[in-house]
Amino acid sequence: MNAPAKLGAFALVLALAFGGAALAGAAIDPTDPEETAVSHAGDDPGHGQTGHDDTPADPEPEGGHGGAGPAAGGLAVSQAGYTLEPQRTFFEPGEPTRFSLLITDERGRPVRDEFETEHERELHLIVVRRDTAIYQHVHPRKHADGTWSVELTLPEPGDYRAYADFTIDGAGLTLATDLFVQGDFQPEPLPEPSTNDSDGGYDVELRADGAMAKGESELTFAVSRAGQPADKLQDYLGAKGHLVALRDGDLAYLHVHPTAGHDDQAEDHDHDNEVSFAATFPSAGRYRLFLQFKTEGEIRTVAYTMEVPR
Ligand SMILES: [Cu+2]
């Protein structure tokens, strides 16, 4: 495959602030970076990851998505009466920039107090360059007026998709907008399908036997180190791992949720190094999966291209 041109070049860590101050939904001080974002370049099967640090990760889990059939989110900036209003969409490459957004209701009023906590946060922001080579997952901080803000650094030129993943009234919603970074954009091809990737010395194998479009598919990730099963995965935002799945072509954002994690299998020490998810792929085709998990206090990010058969 052609040169992982800029593998490794994207490692970066963002400091960001987020606040769990949900209740009160007011008076939150916009400083105090507490988490970081992960950025990372996935490129070729099997590696090509970089970046991360302590981070927030966690994909998406919303609660009941009402609606039948596979739901593909992230394709609209406005849906179900709610609208994502970014305060800016232009960025300079590599320049830390404050990014603020509002979620407004059908009457244009900022939603402030209605957010429900999912995976320990009221709102998850996923930013992915459209070629999927760069991935970040951050948690903006909510301010008294309902504005969410976070410091974002988009490392390379290109068009990015920014997904705001949140839950209101028990329904998960993912609204998204494009962000633009000027400069000489060098797109990277989607890596070929693969079931292995690694980060920080941890090798992670994806098992997705029987995965198919439409019905629910189980995806299991097994973490090992130097050929041995890794130690128990640490809890990260209330789960053993967080997964985001994007469809190749339109970057539709899938609803994925952990199937084994906190509550069940507490006794199953043989699988402490594994985390499983249920995903409903809305159609056959290729998807890019981004898994984040925590070991030794560090957030790791691995990515896979998966081919979902009909
Ligand atoms: Cu998150």
Q: What is the pLDDT of residues 239-266, one digit of tens each?
A: 899 999 999 999 999 978 888 544 444 4
Query: 279 alpha carbon to ligand 1 midpoint, in Å?
Result: 17
How high is the pLDDT of residue 46? 35
Distance CA 99, CA 153 (A): 9
User: Average pLDDT for residues 206-215, to the nearest whole number?
Assistant: 92
For residues 98-126, average pLDDT: 96
CA of 175 to the centre of ligand 1 (A): 14
Amino acid 259: pLDDT: 86
Q: Residue 246 burial by CB count (10 A; 0-12/13-18/19+): exposed, middle or buried?
A: buried
Quote the CA–CA distance of 126 and 75 in Å, as a whole number: 13
* pLDDT tops 80 at residue 160: yes
E strands present in 61-157? 72-73, 78-79, 82-86, 90-91, 97-104, 115-116, 123-129, 135-138, 141-142, 148-152
Residue 68's DSSP bridge partners are none
- What is the pLDDT averaged over residues 174-200? 97
CA of residue 3 to ligand 1 center, whole Å:
31
- The pLDDT confidence band at residue 271, using thresholds 50, 70 and 90, is confident
CB atoms near residue 273 (< 10 Å): 22
Tell me how far CA of residue 155 lies from CA of 118, 121, 143, 275, 280, in angstroms. Answer: 28, 25, 26, 30, 31
Task: Find the range with the poorest average confidence among 62-71, 129-138, 156-165.
Answer: 62-71
Q: 145 falls in which pLDDT band (50, 70, 90)? A: very high
How many angstroms is it from 95 CA to the middle of ligand 1? 22
| More confident site: 46 or 217 | 217
Q: Could you tell me the distance, in angstroms and rounded to a whole number, from the CA of residue 174 to the centre of ligand 1?
A: 12
Distances (CA, A) of 271 to 119, 141, 232, 233: 22, 35, 8, 10
Q: What is the mean pLDDT of residues 137-155?
A: 97
- pLDDT-derived band of residue 270, with 50, 70 and 90 as boundaries? low
Give the mean model confidence (pLDDT) for residues 82-90: 98
The residue whose two tokens read 């954002």 is: 253
Give the pLDDT confidence score for residue 238 in this predicted structure: 85
pLDDT of residue 269: 55
For ligand 1, a single-atom ion, which residues have Cβ within 5 Å?
Answer: 58, 124
Q: How far does the centroid of ligand 1 lie from the alpha carbon of residue 1, in Å? A: 32
| pLDDT given at position 48 | 36
- Say yes or no to pLDDT of 177 above 60: yes
Tell me the mean pLDDT in the region 146-172: 97
> What's the mean pLDDT in 64-82?
74
Asked whether the predicted pLDDT for residue 308 surpasses 50, the reply is yes
Mean pLDDT of 96-119: 96
Alpha carbon distance 60, 294 (integer Å):
17
Cα(140) to centroid(ligand 1), Å = 9
* pLDDT: which is higher, 72 or 216: 216
Q: Please count the helices (runs of H) and the strands (runs of E) in the chain.
A: 0, 24
Q: Looking at residue 71, what is its pLDDT?
A: 65
DSSP string, 174-193: EEEEEEEE-S-----PPPPP
